[in-house]
Amino acid sequence: MAELFWTTVGAILTLSIYSFLYKDNPFYKFAEHLVVGVSAGYYLVIYYWNYIDPNVATPIFLLRVGDESIGFMSGQWWMAFIPGLLGILLYARFFPKIAWVGRWPLGIYVGGYAGLGISPVMQARVIRQLGANGLPLAGVDDPMAGMTNFALGIVIFAVTTYLFVVKRSIGAGNKIARVGAIVLAAVIGYAGYVVLTLLSNAGVVSMTNILLVIGLLGTLSYFFFSMRHRGILGGLARIGIIFLMVGFGASFGYTVMSRISLLIGRVGFLLHDWLHLVD
């Protein structure tokens, strides 16, 4: 009985949130305020028992770290007391006369985290990426060659179609000529795929590595702010933005797929767990 009750509550709140798709309404407002209030209370308890109690309250007042007893004024005690004091000083902002005191712990917090983060971020996001991107452009076994060459063949077809049909207006007013132009573009695209495959198999080029290097150069050029995007830099920046947009499109499609799966989960909850309409 209790399970049915709470399942029904969950279903009603789910439908209340979904009612937002129509327009703002009292059901959505109720569900919104409920989730904001409950989450605030929930996180207060979580933060106290997971952070304040083991790291500050227990070492200072119970003189214990985990199961181990620590002495008053011992190293562990001071290590809990000083950060705890800094945390309490943050509340000074509620008293106008001493509000300035609250800036000190905030400054220590921000500065400390920023400083601690410099070396690992530099190592993981810059140095190791530099090492990984000094790639050979030929003479290596490329396991992605098939997929890369096929994609490049599609790109050649698309670009050729654009040049023939749109730019040069081949077949304007003549459907047969236009279809012929598209077929010719497809043949050129396929020929490009075949040539690239032969070159890859012979180890003359590694198209995957070449594409990676070009994309990286272009993207770095796009984010170069010290010069205007003109000339070679402008061309590289344009290539970079194309690579960025292709990447964003792929990421968008992939994420939409995962969001649909979340929707499937919610609909499954409504139809299976609540209404028992499906197995």
Partner 1 sequence: MKLPGTACIAFLMLCACAANAQVDAVDVEEVLSMADARADSVPPAPPRDLSARDHIGDNDSGDRISVSWTLSPDDGGGEADVLGYLVMRSEAPDARGDTVGVVPAGTTRLVDDTAVPRTPYYYHVQAVDSVNLSEPATFGPVEGRSSFWQPRRTSVFVLMAVFFAMVITFTQLAQKGASLFIRRIPGLNAIEEAVGRATEMGRPVLYVPGIGEIDNIMTIASLTILSHVAKITARYETPLIVPTARAVVMSAAEEVVKEAYAEAGHPDAYNPDNIRYLSDAQFAFAAAVNGIMLREKPAANLYLGAFWAESLLLAETGFEAGAIQVAGTAMVSQLPFFVTACDFTLMGEELYAASAYLSREPKLMGSLKGSDWMKALSIALMAAGIIANIVGWTAFVAWFETQ
Q: Which residues bind partner 1 (CB under 8 A)?
A: 17, 20, 23-24, 28-29, 31-32, 35-36, 38-40, 42-43, 90, 93, 102-103, 106, 109-110, 113-114, 117-119, 122-123, 126-128, 130-138, 213, 216-217, 220-221, 223-229, 244-245, 247-249, 251-252, 255, 259
Shortest CA distance to 198 belongs to which of 146, 144, 143?
146
**Closest approach of partner 1 to the CB of residue 84, in Å:** 15
**Closest approach of partner 1 to the CB of residue 8, in Å:** 21
> Residue 59 is which amino acid?
P
- Residue nearer to partner 1 on the CB measure, 25 or 174: 25
DSSP class of residue 69 equals E
CB atoms within 10 A of CB 241: 15
Inter-residue contact 133 to 212 (CB < 8 Å): yes
- Residue nearer to partner 1 on the CB measure, 168 or 228: 228
Inter-residue contact 43 to 51 (CB < 8 Å): no
**Closest approach of partner 1 to the CB of residue 174, in Å:** 37
- Residue nearer to partner 1 on the CB measure, 108 or 267: 108
> Residue 21 is which amino acid?
L
DSSP class of residue 101 equals G
- Residue nearer to partner 1 on the CB measure, 17 or 154: 17
**Closest approach of partner 1 to the CB of residue 48, in Å:** 13
Residues 6+ apart with CB under 8 A from 214: 239, 243
**Closest approach of partner 1 to the CB of residue 152, in Å:** 20
**Closest approach of partner 1 to the CB of residue 51, in Å:** 12
- Residue nearer to partner 1 on the CB measure, 102 or 146: 102
CB burial of residue 213 (10 Å; 0-12, 13-18, 19+) = middle
> Which tokens belong to 230?
């003109």
- Residue nearer to partner 1 on the CB measure, 31 or 170: 31
